[in-house]
Structure 1
């Protein structure tokens, strides 16, 4: 198989701008001519192995940043947007999308913003009464979508907050219980911590300086919620500075993002980066053992594994998603080439949907996407009881996965035939190119159809080559 050429012009320009170097000085440091650098920065030539080596030696660049990142996400998001029927006769080929993502990422993001505005306009027209009754019916991303995209495009890793959380825990001393450390930090700021049998999961009374936590919540949840409050009390300036840099367009988006950043701090403090990465490698990413070591839940561990993207100390690139019983994705992040649909549900062939059938058990799946990339996928149901008889139980399925090249580093690969059969999965039917999928719901965007009224196969139509 031929080696795929590496085009990373946008990354090279970004690095040079960050260093404040001219093209000539940058070219000299990389050991290439000025015209050659100019061609690489404009994606007219691929980045050579010698340049990759020079980037690592001269500037300490983690070369994995050149291969997986914003470009893959932009291509996936544009393909999903172009699956809209409005583009049925004018959708550009995949090669053009990749060029746009690598050469003109700002234009690609502007296109996504425009399509999102179109979708919202269409949805508002479909519910005219609501649209006419609103004073703020401008076309903009919902606050929830804006925050989701913020974490999506920062690779689900926020360095300053991650390091602050790690410092908070390590400064308390090795072996000290996280719950005690958090409670002491809050007491130093005049916050009294109490546990209640009848209250909500967490309630903070600012005037009384009192934090109430549910005594019925599981211990990992209590630790996480207390650390969330620690973030708001001890790291407020850092959270606000991060929000300033993000430049959210609405106060609502900023408020939601602040909750997200405080949650990020809580997860990073419960599972500090270096200790967690070391334990993950030693246990071969055994989620149950990691949950026991750090006093966390299975979902918290899986989510944390997907954030191990610190430059110079990266963990395995994982994807992490959470789906509800209707198949709707409620959390998603991918540091792999597999990018999940921004809207709607996930591929029905994916084993996450079967996790509800076997509660309390991990399901393993060897899967292959239409682009030929193979993955080891791990899924399990997660139940969140209400804590009382007749209280509603929330049920989700979580899934964690990595490319098959990393499978040996996971305990879940033991006993699997990694050279055997891989189940075909996709992202969204409209951008999935498989012709013979028995679960296809709508035709693919980029293929013509042949309809024969006298013949019926798996589908009521044939997909042309």
Structure 2
């Protein structure tokens, strides 16, 4: 969807029904033709700026609710859900999803809620699996496309205020905690905090941080405590999410607290200017803002301020076994975020080259092309002789928008790309030498007379 084209017929229809008006009556009140209003409600025409103003004047309509109010998060979010292997045989295309949203937005929203809330029930009769809670929280995040404008504005205002007092952000945050919140920051030896990296001791009025945390992680931990200054905005977002489980509420609140901390360390306007000036050079951004690789990668998925948008990045975090612990699609609508992962993606090659930035041009089975970057990160707190964790961060943007990236230098964005899919059970690419299983819903072909590049040949449509 191009910049300035806002498709939100469901929201207009909701306003009209709440007002108890027919299309003809509402069109008359807005000074437009009934046929035009009908096209808007059916998502066949964008909402113009003039129409937005008239809606606000005549129906007390809040335009900020449009993006957040799309049924199921909009067409892109529904496509990501329908990428689940259980729907492989249905082959639902984009046109069908658009028609679904236009004809039955309530049904689309109901599907999204059920899908996000579904979970595996343990065979022992235990409660719904934790994955269902995680999906519910992720649904709340994707509902806003991981961009919380009010939190960004609050963090940016506070960052500007802190800069007036000190050029060292970490020092300024510590001083703010001391003077405004009566919390001192104390760095403790690893022996004193053997099993913790941070602790809030309200009795001693201390934020206790382990010496095992690096500078970026210490700044982030202190910035999280200042999220209390945006408590009203965070409370409103949590209430608005209407999460069914208390654990889900706590997880969503923790995400919002972390969002505020990152926005405080990397204030929106300054961070976006730095991104554009450096070609989104992650290493330079890390140094300029005193942040870690994962912190910067996550921040890149949030740059969606109206009138000042960054490139639409997505981000994943995986372990060596391919288990995904973070998924942020942002505004990218990337199919790489959902479903299974392809071993041909260099996201996994990054484990063999820890610390190196792996850049790769890939083409998904749906023909979309993406410039991706991957690098390993290690959790804080590892000590000599202990178990060291390692994860890979995958970051990417549509190849059509990647020309300005520092990571794209020397890469032909229109040249050969590595063909990948959403995991073998969802991918129908033929003759893939990396295939480990036939696609779900496709009969496997076993022949005594010939053998192809894979022992998992399968029947076509």
| CA distance 1:452–1:31, change in 2 (3 Å) | farther
Q: Distance in 2 between matches of 1:154 and 1:388?
A: 38
User: Is 2:172 the counterpart of 1:168?
Assistant: no
Contact 1:75 1:101 (C-alpha < 8 Å) held by counterparts = no
Gaps of 5+ in 1: none
Match of residue 409, structure 1, among 386, 404, 409: 404
- Matched with 1:436 is 431
The 5 A counterparts of 1:300-311 are 300-311=295-306
User: Is 2:179 the counterpart of 1:183?
Assistant: no
- Matched with 2:9 is 12
User: Is 2:358 the counterpart of 1:367?
Assistant: no
Contact 1:328 1:346 (C-alpha < 8 Å) held by counterparts = no
Q: What is the deviation of 1:226?
A: 0.6
Match of residue 256, structure 1, among 234, 251, 255: 251
Contact 1:228 1:263 (C-alpha < 8 Å) held by counterparts = yes
Q: Which moved more, 1:97-106 or 1:191-200?
A: 97-106
Contact 1:194 1:210 (C-alpha < 8 Å) held by counterparts = yes
Q: What is the deviation of 1:332?
A: 1.0
Query: What SS is found at the alignment partner of 1:384?
Result: coil
User: Is 2:81 the counterpart of 1:77?
Assistant: yes
User: Is 2:285 the counterpart of 1:290?
Assistant: yes
The 5 A counterparts of 1:138-177 are 142-174=132-164, 176-177=167-168
Contact 2:234 2:253 (C-alpha < 8 Å) held by counterparts = yes
- Matched with 2:59 is none
Gaps of 5+ in 2: 57-62
- Matched with 2:38 is 38
Q: What is the deviation of 1:426?
A: 1.7
Query: What SS is found at the alignment partner of 1:352?
Result: coil
| CA distance 1:400–1:118, change in 2 (3 Å) | closer
| CA distance 1:75–1:29, change in 2 (3 Å) | farther
Match of residue 211, structure 2, among 208, 215, 219: 215
Query: What SS is found at the alignment partner of 1:464?
Result: coil
- Matched with 1:324 is 319
Match of residue 270, structure 2, among 268, 275, 281: 275
| Number of equivalences | 438
The normalised TM-score by structure 1 is 0.83
Q: Distance in 1 between matches of 2:410 and 2:158?
A: 40
Listed one character per residue, the Cα deviations across residues 29-68 of structure 1 (whole Å, up to 9, x for unaligned) are: 998631243134225xx337xx668679989989x979x9
- Matched with 2:227 is 231
Q: What is the deviation of 1:236?
A: 2.5
Query: What SS is found at the alignment partner of 2:415?
Result: coil
| CA distance 1:47–1:443, change in 2 (3 Å) | farther
- Matched with 1:202 is 198
Contact 1:368 1:423 (C-alpha < 8 Å) held by counterparts = yes
Q: Distance in 2 between matches of 1:395 and 1:96?
A: 41
Contact 1:450 1:463 (C-alpha < 8 Å) held by counterparts = yes
Q: Distance in 2 between matches of 1:29 and 1:177?
A: 55
Contact 2:162 2:169 (C-alpha < 8 Å) held by counterparts = no
The 5 A counterparts of 1:442-461 are 442-445=437-440, 450-459=445-454, 460-461=456-457
Q: Distance in 2 between matches of 1:274 and 1:302?
A: 17
Contact 1:355 1:381 (C-alpha < 8 Å) held by counterparts = yes
Contact 1:341 1:428 (C-alpha < 8 Å) held by counterparts = no
